[in-house]
Amino acid sequence: MRKPLPHSPIGRFAPSPTGALHLGSLTTAVASYCHIKSIQGQWLVRIEDTDTVRCERKFSQQILLDLEHLGLHWDGEVLYQSTRTNIYNEWLQDKLLPRLYGCSCSRKQISAYHQKTSTHATHSNQTSNTTSAHSLYPRLCLDKHKALDNNKVRVQLPSYHIGFLDQIQGMQWSNPQLSLGDVVLRRANGIINYFLAVSVDDGLQGVTHIMRGLDILPLTCAQIVLMDYMNLPAIQAWQHLPLVENRTGQKLSKQNLATPIDTSTPEKACQQLAKALQLLHQCPVELTTPEQMLAQAVAQWDIQPLQYQHCLAQVD
């Protein structure tokens, strides 16, 4: 662990401890590390454990242990989002309050609303106007002035196109209101949702470069909006990695029971690094020690082979 240098590029790896690291999350960690180190930047590790129902401390500990075994040594202190609920609530109250509203709608109520409007549209021969909106919240509580306490807290997202250049996927455009709707920032039980926590922490930690999985790409415009709402520094570079998928075309994930990586010996850690670099289409490195392998990988890092791909590979 090293103290971050001032005014240097800052990247981060931010796993959610709902399970152990697997090959998909390992490729993200390796890519984010190699890229930020190749531009003389600092690499932070953040444990995104706001969901206290699904996240477990044992997985946080195992993730950090695996990173150490792999030679992926982070700069600064590890940040745990579960310890920062008061900070997130302060930013809700101080920076976002005029754009928030309470919502008591259940998923069943929202689904029933969409079914009703879809049926009406079908009878009116207007199905094409409703299909794209089926997954969006229809703002049923927007003007009901419901209390923020003990209700879901939603933020009003704008209805205009936002663009950003993704250094891997190319130019991206999205209308946050039409693609996501008014997202929930805090659940009725007080749990802070991803959108708010990631926006606050990326801003407060001074993150300049974000490399993460392609599955998060649809959420990026909402993060850009939230960080702008809160007057947090804008992210300088976005990079969304192609996914590692299983044989059926599903993203490797804990939910899909992806096999945890094994770093129990230096030899196994080296093999995991070599596999991750192979999936990332990087030039081979010598199987020496994890630290030496990463140093070589950083020196020859090339983002170009990753561009405009949907997935890195399909693995068992």
- The model's pLDDT over 144-182, given as tens digits with 9 standing for 90+, comes to 999 999 999 999 999 999 999 999 999 999 999 999 999
In a domain, 2, yes or no: no
Residues 199 and 308 in one domain: yes
Please tell me whether the overall predicted TM-score, pTM, comes out greater than 0.95 for this model.
no
Residues 41 and 111 in one domain: no
Residues 273 and 144 in one domain: no
d(C-alpha 272, C-alpha 22), whole Å: 10
Residues 70 and 203 in one domain: yes
In a domain, 81, yes or no: yes
pLDDT tens, residue by residue, 193-221: 999 999 999 999 999 999 999 999 999 99
In a domain, 146, yes or no: yes
Residues 15 and 138 in one domain: no
Q: At what angle do helices 220-229 and 194-204 cross, to 10 degrees?
A: 60
Residues 152 and 300 in one domain: no
Pairing of strands 311-315, 184-186: unpaired
d(C-alpha 234, C-alpha 33), whole Å: 21
219, 164 in Cβ contact below 8 A? no
d(C-alpha 37, C-alpha 133), whole Å: 42
Question: pLDDT at position 130, please?
Answer: 36
In a domain, 135, yes or no: yes
CA separation, residue 36 to residues 30, 77, 167 (Å)? 10, 17, 13
Which of 186, 221, 249 is the C-terminal boundary of a domain?
186
Residues 216 and 284 in one domain: yes
In a domain, 286, yes or no: yes
In a domain, 68, yes or no: yes
Residues 76 and 116 in one domain: no
In a domain, 167, yes or no: no
d(C-alpha 185, C-alpha 106), whole Å: 15
Which of 153, 186, 219 is the C-terminal boundary of a domain?
186
d(C-alpha 39, C-alpha 42), whole Å: 9
Q: Residue 151 is part of which domain span?
A: 97-162+173-186
Place of tokens 């240097």: 8
Residues 68 and 216 in one domain: yes
> What six digits make up the tokens of 121?
């549209």
d(C-alpha 257, C-alpha 239), whole Å: 26
Question: pLDDT at position 3, please?
Answer: 54
Total tally of structural domains belonging to the chain: 2
> What six digits make up the tokens of 163?
């663009």
Question: pLDDT at position 128, please?
Answer: 39
Q: Which amino acid is at 294?
A: L
- The CATH number of the domain where 22 resides is what? 3.40.50.620
d(C-alpha 26, C-alpha 29), whole Å: 5
Residues 157 and 260 in one domain: no
Residues 212 and 305 in one domain: yes
Runs of H (alpha helix) within the chain: 23-38, 57-69, 85-91, 107-123, 176-179, 194-204, 220-229, 266-279, 290-299
Taking the CA atoms of 142, 143, 147 and 148 in sequence, report the sign of the dihedral they define.
positive
Question: pLDDT at position 116, please?
Answer: 85
Question: Mean pLDDT, 10 residues at a time, over the chain (316 residues)?
Answer: 68 95 95 98 97 93 98 98 97 97 94 80 43 74 96 98 96 96 97 97 98 95 97 97 80 72 96 96 96 98 89 70
3-state secondary structure of 10: strand
Residues 309 and 209 in one domain: yes
In a domain, 230, yes or no: yes
Question: pLDDT at position 29, please?
Answer: 98
